[in-house]
């Protein structure tokens, strides 16, 4: 508030205007945290902990002071509530003040009660409404803005162009039926005003009908006070019904918005959960890859150790070869033992072939399991696609039903229009018949009365029958609509259950795949362990054989040829060992490739499932849009039916009024004739015979 005071004094100095002492006193006493909002004789105390209020109520402001305040408020961004009630501003002061407020963006509430504002102020107020889009509440009580209808038009146009105003107080402003009509036209184009106070004006029955017609095209006004305007009770009741309708619509829109926010939060939460599951799966895959890499490095180290041991054995074998010359004499003694060694080598070869065949069978079983899993997933995907096609067919069927309902509604509209035209034609015919009967048959009052009553009764019966037929048709349409809504709710429940079952199947499939991967990794680890044990046994057996060969070489230095054959056998065993190691490495690499392929396949499945969920969400959104459109159309149809019923009621009232007038005229004519016939005749008037 100190900054506004500085700006106020600066503008006064620039324009060479003496600051008004009462304004300075109010600025000194202003409290930005809490204030009392005084409005005439009625005081309303309200806490304003979040608003900065400038209260100059009951302070007489000159035109110069209003000009300075308008310039100071044009650039102010602190004051959010401006109270200027009973300040005797007048039209000139209001022009300057409202011109400055046109460029203000911080004021939310404005009170201009009892300031003697008239037509010129109404034009300035219309300009303010067109240019300012921050004011939400404005009080214009006890002024004369509606005294000039042409200038009040500018205010109404400003209200129609404004998009932020919510509360408009126009009590005691001498607004006539023309101003009310202009204001009704404005609220048909405005979508922000919620509360309008028009008490103690001169709206009248014409203005009330205009406001009723305007509210039929407005969906935001929920409160409108029209006390003290000479408006009939039926119009006030109709306006009250429209306001209740707007309140219900506002509550429904608020409920829909909250549900939409809840659904949005749930969808975001599901997306986050899916992303977290994907990240967990990728992390597990990375961990398995790290474990495979570590196992690969460990096997490489073991192979290098075996190669070193083999090189050492080769060096030892070379040392033994130097001693072979000494063992040739004992060759005949160990021939039997060499034959036994050959049989042992053959047994080891058979064992190796059996282990290879078992390993191949295991690999074939793994391949078959993989193919079975793929076929199972393909069948599940095809079933999901079939369900999606079924949902699409159901959606198309529902769209066809909605189209049929729309066509029936259009046909009912045409029938209603035709009935309305027929009612108008019958009314014109009755009026023409009444006019002809008045001119030609005045002397035959009794016959005309009976004929007229019969015709009126006939028309009334026709109207009642048509009204009953329309009501029956409307009831049937309402029953059909309820049936469609029940079917839609049932389809939604079924879709929700199927979606839950699909998610459960997906979770079960994921769990099964994880279990299969875990079992497969365990099987591979067991096979690697078995191969490692077999390799260790072979190495142990090779070491035993080398010891036996060393003993044989120590004993039989003369068996050079047999030693050469043993060398060839040892080379073959080393080659077989290298081939086994190569096969093991290829099997590990093949298992890694299969694991990568399966992980990629799981990622694609997750992407497909995400697409299916998005498609389901789109279908739900379409169903919601269709239900919303259907409800709007039913509401418009209900409004049309209400308007037709109102028109029929007005027509019945007119017919009753015509009948009463005819009865009154007939009774007057009958009384005149009877008085004429019963009047005594004087002798001067009696004609001579």
Q: What is the predicted pLDDT for the residue at 179?
A: 93
Give yes or no for residue 532 having a pLDDT over 80. Answer: no
Q: What is the predicted pLDDT for the residue at 149?
A: 85
Q: What is the predicted pLDDT for the residue at 138?
A: 97
Give yes or no for residue 33 having a pLDDT over 50. Answer: no
Give yes or no for residue 527 having a pLDDT over 70. Answer: yes
Q: Which residues contact 640 (CB under 8 A, 6 or more apart)?
A: 413, 416
Q: What is the predicted pLDDT for the residue at 425?
A: 84
Residue whose C-alpha is closest to residue 156's, from 189, 198, 120? 189
Instruction: Quote the mean pLDDT of the chain.
Output: 81
Pairwise pLDDT comparison (467 vs 176), residue with the higher score: 176
- Topology (CATH level 3) of domain 2-251: 3.80.10
Separation of CA 327 from chain center? 97
- Summarize pLDDT for 670-685 with one digit per residue, the tens: 888 778 777 665 444 4
Predicted confidence band of residue 233 (pLDDT cuts 50, 70, 90): very high
Dihedral over Cα of 303, 304, 310, 313: its sign: negative
Q: What is the predicted pLDDT for the residue at 549?
A: 62
Percent of the chain with pLDDT over 70: 89
Separation of CA 655 from chain center? 51
Q: What is the predicted pLDDT for the residue at 39?
A: 41
- Summarize pLDDT for 72-99 with one digit per residue, the tens: 999 888 999 999 999 999 999 999 999 9
Q: What is the predicted pLDDT for the residue at 142?
A: 94
- 29: tokens are 């006493």
Give yes or no for residue 34 having a pLDDT over 60. Answer: no
CA angle 533, 537, 540 (to 5 degrees): 135
Q: For 156-165, 436-445, 655-664, which range has the lowest pLDDT when averaged over its residues?
A: 436-445
Give yes or no for residue 48 having a pLDDT over 50. Answer: no
Q: Are 353 and 582 in contact (CB under 8 A)?
A: no
Helices and strands, number each (H, E), in the chain: 12, 9
d(CA 145, CA 114): 11
What is each CA distance from 112 to 39, 75, 342, 369, in whole angstroms? 10, 20, 120, 84
Q: For 202-206, 431-435, 666-670, which range has the lowest pLDDT when averaged over its residues?
A: 431-435
Predicted confidence band of residue 69 (pLDDT cuts 50, 70, 90): very high
Give yes or no for residue 209 having a pLDDT over 90. Answer: yes
Q: Which residues contact 63 (CB under 8 A, 6 or more apart)?
A: 90, 92, 93, 96
d(CA 297, CA 425): 101
């Amino acid at each position: 508030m100190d900054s506004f005071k500085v700006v106020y004094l600066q503008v006064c100095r620039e324009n060479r205007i003496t600051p008004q002492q009462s304004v300075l006193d109010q600025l000194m006493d202003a409290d930005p945290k809490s204030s009392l909002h005084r409005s005439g004789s009625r005081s309303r105390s309200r806490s304003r902990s979040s608003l900065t209020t400038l209260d100059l109520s009951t302070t007489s402001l000159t035109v110069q002071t209003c000009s300075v305040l308008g310039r100071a408020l044009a650039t102010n961004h602190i004051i959010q509530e401006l109270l200027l009630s009973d300040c005797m501003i007048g039209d000139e002061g209001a022009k300057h003040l409202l011109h400055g407020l046109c460029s203000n963006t911080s004021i939310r509430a404005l009170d201009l009660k009892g300031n003697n504002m008239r037509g010129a102020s109404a034009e300035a107020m219309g300009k303010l409404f067109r240019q300012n889009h921050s004011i939400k509440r404005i009080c214009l009580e006890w002024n004369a803005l509606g005294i000039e209808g042409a200038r009040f038009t500018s205010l109404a146009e400003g209200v129609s162009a404004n998009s932020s105003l919510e509360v408009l107080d126009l009590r005691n402003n001498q607004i006539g039926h023309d101003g009310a009509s202009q204001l009704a036209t404005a609220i048909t184009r405005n979508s922000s005003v919620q509360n309008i106070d028009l008490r103690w004006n001169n709206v009248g029955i014409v203005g009330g009908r205009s406001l009723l017609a305007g509210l039929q095209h407005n969906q935001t006004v929920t409160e409108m006070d029209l006390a003290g305007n000479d408006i009939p009770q039926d119009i006030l009741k109709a306006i009250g019904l429209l306001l209740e309708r707007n309140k219900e619509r506002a509550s429904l829109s608020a409920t829909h918005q909250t549900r939409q926010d809840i659904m949005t939060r749930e969808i975001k939460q599901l997306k986050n959960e899916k992303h977290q599951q994907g990240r967990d799966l990728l992390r597990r895959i990375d961990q398995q890859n790290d474990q495979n890499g570590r196992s690969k490095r460990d096997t490489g180290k073991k192979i290098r150790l075996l190669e070193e041991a083999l090189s050492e054995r080769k060096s030892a074998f070379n040392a033994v070869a130097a001693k072979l010359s000494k063992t040739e004499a004992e060759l005949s003694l160990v021939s039997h033992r060499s034959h036994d060694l050959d049989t042992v080598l053959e047994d080891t070869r058979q064992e190796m072939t059996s282990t290879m065949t078992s390993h191949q069978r295991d690999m074939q079983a793994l391949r078959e399991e993989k193919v079975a899993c793929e076929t199972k997933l393909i069948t599940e995907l095809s079933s999901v696609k079939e369900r999606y096609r079924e949902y699409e067919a159901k959606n198309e069927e529902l769209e066809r039903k909605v189209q049929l309902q729309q066509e029936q509604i259009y046909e009912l509209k045409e029938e209603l229009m035709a009935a309305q035209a027929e009612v108008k034609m019958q009314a014109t015919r009755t009026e023409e018949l009444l006019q002809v009967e008045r001119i030609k048959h005045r002397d035959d009052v009794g016959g005309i009365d009976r004929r007229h009553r019969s015709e009126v009764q006939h028309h009334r019966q026709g109207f009642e029958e048509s009204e009953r037929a329309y009501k029956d048709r409307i009831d049937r349409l309402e029953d059909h609509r309820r049936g469609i809504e029940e079917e839609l709710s049932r389809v939604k429940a079924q879709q929700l259950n199927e979606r839950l079952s699909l998610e459960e199947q997906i979770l079960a499939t994921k769990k099964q795949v994880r279990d299969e991967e875990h079992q497969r990794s365990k099987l591979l680890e067991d096979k690697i362990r078995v191969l490692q044990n077999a390799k260790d046994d072979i190495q142990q057996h090779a070491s035993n054989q080398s010891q036996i060969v060393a003993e044989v070489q120590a004993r039989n230095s003369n068996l050079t040829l047999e030693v050469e054959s043993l060398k060839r056998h040892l080379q073959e065993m080393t080659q077989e060992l290298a081939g086994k190691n190569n096969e093991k490495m290829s099997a590990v690499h093949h298992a890694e490739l299969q694991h990568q392929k399966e992980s990629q396949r799981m990622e694609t499945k997750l992407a497909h499932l995400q697409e299916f969920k998005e498609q389901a969400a789109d279908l739900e959104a379409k169903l919601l849009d269709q239900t919303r459109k259907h409800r709007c159309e039913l509401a418009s149809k209900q409004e049309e039916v209400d308007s037709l019923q109102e028109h029929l009621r007005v027509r019945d009232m007119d017919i009753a009024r015509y009948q009463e007038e005819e009865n009154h005229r007939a009774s007057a004519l009958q009384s005149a004739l009877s008085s004429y016939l019963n009047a005594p005749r004087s002798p001067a008037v009696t004609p001579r015979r």
